[in-house]
Amino acid sequence: MNYIGSKKSLLKFLEESIYKIVGKKDFDFLDLFAGTGIVGQHFKERGHKIIANDLQYYSYVLNKNYIENHKRLEFKGIEKEINKIKNININNRAEFVCEYLDNIDYIEGFIYKNYCLGGTKNSKYERQYFSDDNGRKTDAIRQKIEDWYKKNIINDNEYYFLLTTLIENIDKVANTASVYGAFLKKLKKSAHTTFNMKPAYFLHNDKKHNVYNEDIEELINKVEGDVLYLDPPYNHRQYAPNYHILETIAKYDNPIVKGKTGLRDYSNQKSKFSQKKEVLNSFNNIIQNAKVKYIFLSYNNEGLMTEQEVKNIMTKRGEYGIFKKEYSRFKADSDDNREHKANSVTEYLHYVICN
């Protein structure tokens, strides 16, 4: 998924830096601002036990699949409902269930009624986050997944796998520039395509992993391990309003939505890491309370905390150090979109070896 602050392009830098300090031994890896889960997944692939967490529920869902799922899904319970699945090889059952969901009848449910043109036509706010068909398909699949789960036809692992598959695929056909803070006036080319339930991948292995959906300031008192990796928001941009529709698809809780963009209430999901007045105090709490041997923090030179402020706080726990990586960011020139200006950003990986 295309995600603000994703570390997809920095995985090599993170891996090399972390191994340089900790060594390649077997350590637990705590990814407590997990977002898409891509960093945890990377270290899961290298054989580490992962503990993941995020404040957003859609992120919890993604991590329940990518991180916590580690065994083949057999969809045994579905035999009661779809007789044909008995003839499907156990290795192909996840794919079979996704194909089945691709072919169920569409429903005009919450997503269609609030975020598609057909459903909002002639109301105060007409919205077009998805094509009508993608909205109806999402409603149908989301309701079927919930129905199966409530009837115990699918287990937790299968439930989060199917939800992740739905979230990843609907996100690819959203009619937005990138995030859900606004939608485009006209359906863009990719938004015309009806999505398919391409199964979400997860790595099979022997380790048990844990995933949480809590505020890190509370969770930090309850978990422990070897390596704590922190990748908080860097600036004032809150994740909740930028991904509100994914949150609603994940929860499917019929929230009251407001205004032009159909925003749900997110007063209990405001991150202190996106608030200048709060960030230093929260960061200090986490660093002081972490029961781990090493702490790593991703941040950059444009974040709310300065390099020196971070250093002062982390140094209180032990031997401090920093890795830096410069990269060029291209910005569209406001006068002429064909011309681009390059400016440089420095990505930091601060660390402390705890006493």
Smallest distance, Å, CB 106 to ligand SAM? 31
User: Strands 257-258 and 263-264: what pairing?
Assistant: antiparallel
Residue 33 found at the interface with ligand SAM (CB under 6 A): yes
Smallest distance, Å, CB 200 to ligand SAM? 15
Nearest to residue 260, comparing CAs of 147, 125, 355, 160? Answer: 125
Helix (H) or strand (E) run with residue 51 in it? strand 50-53
User: What is the Cα 139 distance to its own chain's centre?
Assistant: 21
How many residues sit in the footprint of ligand SAM (CB under 6 A)? 22
C-beta closer to ligand SAM: residue 39 or 98: 39
Which of these segments, 108-116, 129-137, 225-233, 259-267, binds ligand SAM (CB under 6 A)? 225-233
User: In whole angstroms, what is the distance from residue 38 CA to residue 18 CA?
Assistant: 16
Nearest to residue 307, comparing CAs of 351, 350, 274? Answer: 350
Smallest distance, Å, CB 342 to ligand SAM? 23
Helix (H) or strand (E) run with residue 325 in it? strand 318-332
Smallest distance, Å, CB 201 to ligand SAM? 15
Residue 101 tokens read as 């969901």
C-beta closer to ligand SAM: residue 4 or 187: 4
In this structure, the dihedral spanned by the alpha carbons of residues 281, 287, 288 and 291, taken in order and rounded to 10 degrees, is: 150
Residue 143 tokens read as 């309701």
Residue 39 found at the interface with ligand SAM (CB under 6 A): yes
Q: How many CB atoms lie within 10 A of CB 354?
A: 15
Residue 215 found at the interface with ligand SAM (CB under 6 A): yes
Which of these segments, 32-40, 64-72, 131-139, 144-152, binds ligand SAM (CB under 6 A)? 32-40
CA dihedral over 290, 292, 294, 299, signed as positive or negative: negative
Residue 267 tokens read as 């007063």
Residue 271 found at the interface with ligand SAM (CB under 6 A): yes
Which of these segments, 33-41, 102-110, 126-134, 313-321, binds ligand SAM (CB under 6 A)? 33-41
285 vs 92, 116, 184, 288, CA distance in Å? 47, 43, 40, 5
C-beta closer to ligand SAM: residue 191 or 240: 240
* x/- track of binding to ligand SAM for residues 232-251 (CB under 6 A): xx-----x------------
- 250 burial (CB, 10 Å; 0-12 / 13-18 / 19+) is buried
C-beta closer to ligand SAM: residue 246 or 352: 246
C-beta closer to ligand SAM: residue 48 or 93: 48
* x/- track of binding to ligand SAM for residues 40-69 (CB under 6 A): -------------xxxx--x----------
Give me the residues that bind ligand SAM (CB under 6 A), please. Answer: 3, 5-7, 33, 35-36, 38-39, 53-56, 59, 215-216, 231-233, 239, 271, 273
